[in-house]
Structure 1
Amino acid sequence: MKRRNFVNATLGSAGLFAAAGALAQTAGPSYSWKMATGWAGGPIMDIGAKAFAERMEFFSGGRFKIQTFPGGGLGNALKVPETVKNGLAECGHTWMGYDWGKDPTTVLFGGYAGTFDTERMLHWLYESGGADLQRQFREDTDGVISMPLFIRTAEVFLHSRKPVKSLADLKGLKLRTAGAWLEMSKDLGAAPVTTAAGDVFPMLERGAIDATEWGTPWENVSPGFYKVAKYLSYPGVHQPTAPFELVINKDVWAKLSPNDKKLIEVVAKMVTMETYLRIGAEDAKAMEFYKKQGVTLVHLDDEVQYTARKIGLDWAEATAKENKHKWFARVHKSQVEFDAAWKDADDWRKVKVKRA
C-alpha cells in the first residue's frame, strides 16, 4: 500500500488513529515477528494480516516488523493457534471457527447460522464484553492471547456449478465449508467437506465439489470462483458475520511493555473497523461485477433462510444445555442477552424506504 493511501485509510478511523498515535514510540525494544496465517492471498491477507503488520510498523516507528506467511508456510493452515502456541510463529491470523471440533465455543466468536449481523457483532465484541470473553476463553483453553482482527459482512451463501435456491436444490449437494456449518448443512441434506483455502478453486474447477462458500462477494472475486461456478446464491444465512482472530504467543506477549500491548490492541481494533467499512463498500461493486461476468444471481427462498437460521439457533441452545464445554454456555448467554436488548433496534434505528 502506498504511504499516502495508507495514511488516508488510517485517518478514516480518527479516534483509533489518535489512540495509536498517542501510543506510538520510536524508542524502545525492536521486534521481528513471524505471522502464520490460513490464507493463500486475497483481501483477507491484504487488508487483514498484512494491513495489521504495516500499521504496527508505522505506529511503532519501525520497532515492530511482522512478516506474514501464507497458509501452510508455517504449520497447518487450519491450526494457526497451535503453530503460535508451539513458538513456530510469534503471532497468527485465523478464523476461530476452524477449531469448532475441539470446542464449539469457537463458532460463537467466529459466527454461525444463528448469529447476529456484523454491526451487532461489533457492538457485542467491543461494547458488551465479547472481546474480553474471547481473550479469557483462548487463554484458558489454548494458552494463547486472542483478540479480534478483521471482520466480514454477510458471506455469499454459495458459488455453485448449478443453481441453488430451494431446500430441494441442497439435497446431496457437495459443498466446501468449515466450522459448525459442516454439521448443520447436513440437516439440509447437503454433503459437506472442508479444505484449506488453496484447494477450494481446483476442487470446484474439476467438479470434486458442486459449490463452495468462502467470503463476501468482494472477497470471492480474487479466488476466481465465478470463472468455474456461474451461479451465486445469497444471502449468507450460514454466516451472517465472520470476525477473525489475532493470536499471540503467551510468552511473547508477557515480555511486552504495557504500552506495546495496548498498541497491538488498538491497531487490531483499527484494522477490524477498517475491514468492515472497506468490505461493505466493495461488496456492492462486486455484485455488479458478477453480473457483467455472466454469473446468475440467485436469491435464496425464504424457507431456506428460516430453516438454516433455526438449525443454528437450535444447535446453540442444545449445546449450551449439554454443558459439556466449560465456556460455551457462558458466551452463549452473553450473546442471547445482547440480542434480546437489540431485538427491536431496527424499528427505532432504521427508516423504511420505498424503492422505485
Structure 2
Amino acid sequence: MKRREFLTAATAGVAASSVAMPAIAQSAPEVKWRCTSSFPKSLDTIYGAAELMAKTVSELTDGKFQIRVFAAGEIVPGLQALDATQNNTVEMCHSASYYYVGKDPTFGMGTAIPFALNTRQMNAWFLFGNGLTLMNEFYKDYNVTMLPGGNTGGQMGGWFRKEIKTVADLNGLKMRIAGMGGQVMAKLGVVPQQLAGGDIYPALEKGTIDAAEWVGPYDDEKLGLFKVAKYYYYPGWWEGCAALNFFFNTAQWNSLPPLYQHALTAACARANESMLASYDAKNPVAIQSLVKSGTQLRRYPNDVMDAAYKASHEIYEKLSTENPKFGKVWNDLKAFRNNAYTWWQIAEFNYDDYMVRARSRG
C-alpha cells in the first residue's frame, strides 16, 4: 500500500460506510478472516488494538467483513505470527516487525532500532516520508503487506537484578531483549535472549535470564516483572518508540473488495492512534504504583549510553555495506531522523524540558 492511499483511507472508508445503504450492503460479500496476535490477552493495550481494529472493520462494513483475533499460542506461537500470515495459515497478524530480524535485519526498522525515531517521528516517516513505501517494498519478498498497528511510545530500559554502574557491569548478563537492541547489547557483553511476552516472567523468576526489557510501566506491572527484579532502567534507547504492525497476506489483501480495503485501512489507523493514547494515559499511573511497590528507578550511565550509540551505528554501517536492502531503508530513515531533530531541539524538547522542571518546582 502506498502512503497516499493510507492517508486518504480513513476518510474513504468512513465515506464508503456512510453510503452502505441496503442495496450496497446486500451486494457486499461476507468475508471472514483470522488475525493471529504475537501477544497474550493479558496485555490489553497491545492485544486490545487488534480487537479494536476488528470491531471497527465490522462496524464499517455492516458486519459483512468479520475478523476474529486469536492470542499468541491459540493458532501459532507469538513469534511465528508473520510466518503464519506469509504462508496463508491465517489472513493477517498483529505483531512487531523487529521480532523477525533473524530473517533479515531490515525487519527491525518496521518497529524500532536503537537511537532512531521517537513515536511522532515514526508515524511521520511512515505517513509523510518514505517509510511505509520502503518497508512494503521490502515485505514483498515475504508475501505480506503492512499497515501501522499502534505504538507504545518511548519505552523503559529494562529490569535488572543488580545495578548497572558501568559498561563492564553488563558483561555476561543474560537479558531478554528483542530486535537490533539485542545485537547492540551483545557488543557490550550481554548475552541476548528473545522470548515472547508471556515467557519473560518465569524465565526471570527462575534465573534463566538476569534482566529483561518489555515495554513500559503499564505492561511491565501487569507482567509482574517488579516482583522478580528490583532495578528499573531508563531510557529504552533501543526503542525510542515501538511501532506495532498489521501484516496481511498479500494475495488475501488483493482479493478484498476496495470498500473492505478502505475499511480495514481506516480500522488500522484507528488502532494505531488509540494504542498510543492509551499508553500515555496509563503509564504515569503505573510508574507511580511501581515505585510505591519498591521499584528502584535508575538512569543508564552516560558511558553505557555512549557505548551503545557507538555500537549501534557501527552495526548499521556494516549492515549497509553487506545488505543493500537494509542500507536503502536505513539511509532514508537516518536522513529523516536527523532532519526531524533539527525541529525537535528548537520547540518540542525545550517545551517539555521546561515543563518538567517547572512541575518539579511546584
TM-score (norm 1): 0.89
**1:333 maps to 2:334:** no
- The answer (yes or no) to whether the contact 2:10–2:269 under 8 Å persists in 1 is no
Shift of 1:71: 1.2
Indicate whether 1:21 and 2:22 are aligned: no
Distance in 2 (CA, whole Å) between partners of 1:285 and 1:20 is: 35
Asked whether the equivalents of residues 201 and 225 of structure 1 are also in contact (C-alpha less than 8 Å), the reply is yes
Distance change (3 Å), C-alpha of 1:204 and 1:162: same
Residues 92-128 of structure 1: CA deviation (Å, up to 9, x unaligned): 1111111111111111121111312111111111111
Structure 2 alignment gaps of length 5 or more: 1-7
Q: Matched residue of 1:74: which SS?
A: coil
Contact 1:76–1:83, Cα closer than 8 Å, also in 2? no
Aligned with 1:221: secondary structure? Answer: helix
Runs of 4+ that moved beyond 6 A: none
Matches within 5 A, 1:123-272: 123-139=124-140, 141-272=141-272
Partner of residue 67, structure 2:
66
Asked if 2 retains the 8 angstrom alpha-carbon contact of 1:92 and 1:246, the reply is: yes
Structure 1 contact 84–249 (Cα < 8 Å) conserved: yes
- Whole-angstrom distance in 1 between the partners of 2:113 and 2:311: 10
Cα distance change of structure 1 residues 132 and 255 upon mapping to structure 2, 3 Å threshold: same
Output the CA distance in 2 between the equivalents of 1:225 and 1:46.
19
**What is residue 293 of structure 1 aligned with on the other side?**
293
Distance, in Å, in 2 between the alignment partners of 1:337 and 1:79 is 32
Q: How big is each residue's C-alpha offset from its partner over 1:9-35, in whole Å with a ceiling of 9 and x where there is no partner?
A: xxxxxx987554213247112222111
Task: Answer yes or no: is the 8 Å Cα contact 1:238–1:309 preserved in 2.
Answer: no
> What is the match of residue 75 of structure 1?
76
Question: How big is the shift at 1:77?
Answer: 1.9
Unmatched runs of 5 consecutive residues or more in structure 1: 1-14
Give me the whole-angstrom Cα distance separating, in 1, the residues matched to 2:271 and 2:68: 17
Kindly indicate whether the alpha-carbon contact (under 8 Å) linking 2:204 and 2:211 is maintained by their aligned counterparts in 1.
yes
Q: 1:121 aligned to 2:122? A: yes
Residues 204 and 254 of structure 1: CA distance in aligned 2, closer, same or farther (over 3 Å):
same
AA paired with 2:199?
D
The aligned amino acid for 1:92 is C
Sequence identity (%): 25
Structure 1 vs Structure 2 CA RMSD: 1.9
- The range that moved more, 284-293 or 307-316, is 307-316
The AA in structure 2 aligned to 1:117 is N
Equivalent residue number for residue 110 of structure 1: 111
More displaced stretch, 260-269 vs 234-243: 260-269
Tell me which residue corresponds to 1:317.
317
User: Contact 1:134–1:147 (CA<8 Å) still a contact in 2?
Assistant: no
TM-score relative to the length of structure 2: 0.88
Alpha-carbon deviation of 1:268?
0.9
More displaced 10-residue stretch of structure 1: 284-293 or 335-344:
335-344
Q: Which has the higher helix share?
A: 2
Q: Which residue in the other structure is 2:58 paired with? A: 57
1:154-207 deviation digits (Å, cap 9, x = unpaired): 222111222234323312211111212222111111122112222111111111
Aligned CA distance change for structure 1 residues 273 and 101 (closer, same or farther; 3 Å): same
Cα distance change of structure 1 residues 151 and 208 upon mapping to structure 2, 3 Å threshold:
same
Cα distance change, pair 310–47 in 1 and its aligned pair in 2 (3 A): farther
Partner of 2:5: none
